[in-house]
Every structure is written in structure tokens, then in C-alpha cells.
Amino acid sequence: MLDMKFIRENPQIVKKACELKRMPDCVDEILALDVRVRELKTITQAKTAEKNKITREIPAAVDKAVLIARSKEIGAEIANDLAELAVGEEKLADLLRRVPQIPAADAPVGKDDTENVEVRRVGMPRSFEFTPRAQWDLLEMNGWWRPEKIAGICGTRTYALFGEAAELELAIQTYVMQKLIAKGFTFVNCPSITKPQTIFNAGHFMGADLSVMNNDVFMLTDTDRCLAGTAEIVLNSLHADEVLNEKDLPIKYAGYSPCFRKEAGAAGRDTRGIVRIHQFNKVEQYVFCTPEQSDEMHEHLLNNLCEVMEDLELPYRVIAACTGDMGFNKVKMHDVEAWFPSENTYRELGSCSSIGQFQARRTNTRYRAADGSMQFCATLNNTGIALPRAIVPVIENHQNPDGSVNIPKKLQPLMGGRTKIGGKH
């Protein structure tokens, strides 16, 4: 969330952010409520001081009844003021959690994903000498999945991979994790079970009413827990209420976890195949740094995913998300999209996001600067790899006429030296 002092001093900047991100503008309501809350605090402090003074005077007073009556009167006034203050503070907290992050000055301005900007393309889509098969055909003919059986056991939008495809999934995940560790990331095997407040602290939902998560998050009935949709949720709170040293920043984590999403907002989309499902595995890049380091870290995280695309020998492109598409809590965002031959288009495999101090304010994650001052950290995140989605462009781009799939060279050591899988044996 944004600092209240910043909102007071820069209301037009905040209003512009609401406009650019196409979100409700509650700035005027916040400012009016802020004035009243501060006024009530001053009033209650003054009345409390007066009441305390009267209390001290009562023992020596000639007419104690008058002072006692006045003390009770002030006490009632304080109770009423405190009740109004509590309501005002609760409302203000909710409104502050509805104010979007200020987008970067160089972020493309646009209303939705149709106005995102392509930054660059790397690699040329393969020209096939045969009609390339879609993911489900390759999985089916090689015996790599049993969708009807798994759906009958576990329900729709679940998956299981068999044999060499399952090996490929693990190889990709292992390769990416080893790559990030070599780049100085600390590996964290994250839990998927968390508390709803932890999700709110990551800034993925507006307001303070946790029930808004119910359409997207799997809540665990009769518990105070839920299932996280990304390791970012847990990683973001690793240093909650801590004071880090500036010299230790940036801190880079590579978190792995199973991820769970209802995908309620995606009804009717990608119901076939393994692109959009309720449970998947993901390696997440996450960074705590100073605000001054944020741009450099953004490029670092973005380039890491681009390198993974090249290591997997996939044609891809980088997209700068416009203000209307980047999301509630982001300063800027870039998507990395791989080429999907069966759809003749690029599709997103990861999003690199700069969050500024938005999340750190919610978790109270600070650092002591070189000048001794206390500052909130900046945070960033990007996908390392998401599986099984990433398997789709790998098997589709590297397929052969017989249904076999060539293994990218960087993965071959993790596949027992094999250069291809599937097809006719």
C-alpha cells in the first residue's frame, strides 16, 4: 500500500494512478477521513488529559459531586469519540488497501492487454515440414497422460504426467532451480498452506475484507488456512517485521512450491490440455532490495527467464504490460511469452513485476540505510518456470513427424543423456 503522508502530499499523482490503472478513485474520501481520524485522536487525547486532571482534583475538592459528574460526562464523550475513531480507522485502513501502486513513468499507458507493447522477439518460429501436433495429441499418442481417468479421480482441471513427460517436467524444474542457485539465489522449498492475511500482505487483493479471495483461493474449511497460488505469497513475508541491513541487500530467493488456483475468472478458457489447471508447480524468483536497486533487479529477473527460454530453445517475445493490465500492486511488469505452434501465437510463460515498497509496507519489512535511517524495502518477483505449462511449447516446438520430441541440449544431462523421447520405439 502507499504511505498516507505521500497520499496527503501528492493527491493528484495518486488520482492519476487510479485513472491509469482503471480502478476506483477513493482519494478524496481517504483525505477527508484522514482529517477526521487525526482530529478525533487530538480530541480524545485532550479530553483524556482533562479527565485525568479532574480525577486528580477530586480527592481535595470541596464539591466532589460536580467534578465526578463532569468526569463521567467527559468519559461518555471519550467513549463516543473512540467508537467513531475505531470505525474511522477501520474504514481508512480498508480504503488505503484499495489505492493502487503508482506505475512507473516509462510504463506504457493503455486500458487493457490489447494495448501492451512488444519490446523484442528472440528466435524464429519453426517452419514445419509436417502438420505439427497439439500438446494433447503428443501427450495422448505417447501415453504421457490419462486425462479422463485423472478427472474421474480428482475432478476437472487436474493433471498427471506419465513416463518420459513426467521426467521432462522434473528435468526442467531441476535445471531452472540449479541455474538460479548458480546466480546467487537461495533455494526455498515453500509450503503451499498459508494464512489468508499472508495473501493480502502480498497485495493481490484490494481492500481489507478477506472474503474477496473466495472466488480465487482454495480455503481450507474449518481452519484459518488456505492454499497459496504462488510461492511469492510466502516469500514476501519471510522478513515481515524485520529490520535488514542495507549491506545485505539485495536478498534473492528461488522458491519452489505446488500452487493452487480456482481459476474462477477463467471459465471456458483452456479447458483442454495442461495450460490452465487448478494445481501446478512453479519456481519463483523473489527479491528484497533498496528502491535504488529495483530497476537493476527487474532486468536481472527478466533476463533470467529469457535465458531459460533460450536454454529450452524456444522462440519467445517480451511484452511491456500497459497501466491497465499490469495489476493493482505493480510499478511495472514485463511478460515473457513463448511460441505455441499449435495455436500459431505467443503465450505467457512468466511475468516479471516490480512492486516498489507496496508489499513491504504491508509486511513492515524494512532496512537500516547507510545513513542510519529506516526505510521500507522494495520487492520484485518473476517466474523462474511454471509447470506443466512450460512443457507445452517444449514438446510442440521440438516435435518430430513420428510424435517423438527432441530434448533441448541443456536438459539432456538431466534426462540420462537422451536426445529425444516418445515416438516409435
Residue 261 annotated as catalytic:
yes
Catalytic option among 261, 317, 362, 366: 261
Beta bridge partners of 318: 120, 336
Do 84 and 144 share a domain, yes or no? no
Residues 363 and 288 in one domain: yes
In a domain, 393, yes or no: yes
Q: What is the pLDDT along the chain (425 residues), one digit of tens a residue?
A: 799 999 999 999 999 999 999 999 999 999 999 999 999 999 999 999 999 999 999 888 888 888 899 999 999 999 999 999 999 999 999 999 999 999 999 999 999 999 999 999 999 999 999 999 999 999 999 999 999 999 999 999 899 999 999 999 999 999 999 999 999 999 999 999 999 999 989 988 887 778 888 888 999 999 999 999 999 999 999 999 999 999 999 999 999 999 999 875 565 667 788 998 999 999 999 999 999 999 999 999 999 999 999 999 999 999 999 999 999 999 999 999 999 999 999 999 999 999 999 999 999 999 999 999 999 999 999 999 999 999 999 999 999 999 999 999 999 999 999 999 999 75
Q: Which is nearest to 331 in space by CA: 198, 417, 203, 171?
A: 203
Kindly state whether residues 249 and 214 are assigned to the same domain: yes
SS3 letters across 395-425: HHHCECCCCCEECCHHHHHHHCCCCEECCCC
Residue of 115, 163, 175 lying closest to 308 (CA atoms):
175
104 falls within a domain:
no
Our answer to whether residue 342 is catalytic in this structure is no
Q: Give the residue among 239, 257, 245 at the shortest CA–CA distance from 362.
A: 239
Range of the domain at 147: 113-421
Q: Which of 192, 237, 294, 351 is catalytic?
A: 351
Please identify which of the residues 29, 89, 310, 348 carries the catalytic annotation: 348
Catalytic (active site) residue 351: yes
Q: What is the spatial distance between Cα 104 and Cα 356, in angstroms, rounded to a whole number?
A: 10
Question: Is there a single domain that holds both residue 185 and residue 281?
Answer: yes
Q: How far is 261 from 254, CA to CA, in rounded Å?
A: 20
- CA 413 to chain CA mean position, Å: 33
- 74 shares its domain with 128: no
pLDDT for position 61: 83
Query: Same structural domain for residues 337 and 414?
Result: yes
Using the Cα atoms of residue 231, residue 235, residue 236 and residue 240 in order, give the sign of their dihedral. positive
Quick one: 252 and 353 in the same domain? yes
Q: Are residues 270 and 398 in the same domain?
A: yes
Chain centre to alpha carbon of residue 254: 14
Residue 389 falls in the annotated catalytic set: yes
Q: At what angle do helices 11-20 and 27-57 cross, to 10 degrees?
A: 140
Model pLDDT for residues 85-101, shown as the tens digit of each residue? 999 999 999 999 999 99
Catalytic one of 276, 347, 368, 418: 276
* Choice among 294, 389, 396, 404 that is catalytic: 389
Residues 237 and 371 in one domain: yes
Tell which residue, 93, 98, 101, has the closest CA to residue 34. 93
pLDDT score recorded for residue 267:
59
**Does 346 map to a domain?**
yes
CATH number at residue 342: 3.30.930.10
Question: Does 130 lie in the same domain as 85?
Answer: no
Indicate whether 278 and 353 sit together in one domain. yes
Give a yes or no: residue 401 inside a domain: yes
Q: Are residues 250 and 380 in the same domain?
A: yes
102 lies in a domain? Answer: no
Indicate the number of domains in the chain: 2
Instruction: Please indicate, yes or no, if residue 106 is contained in any of the structural domains.
Output: no
* Strand 345-356 with 420-421, pairing: unpaired
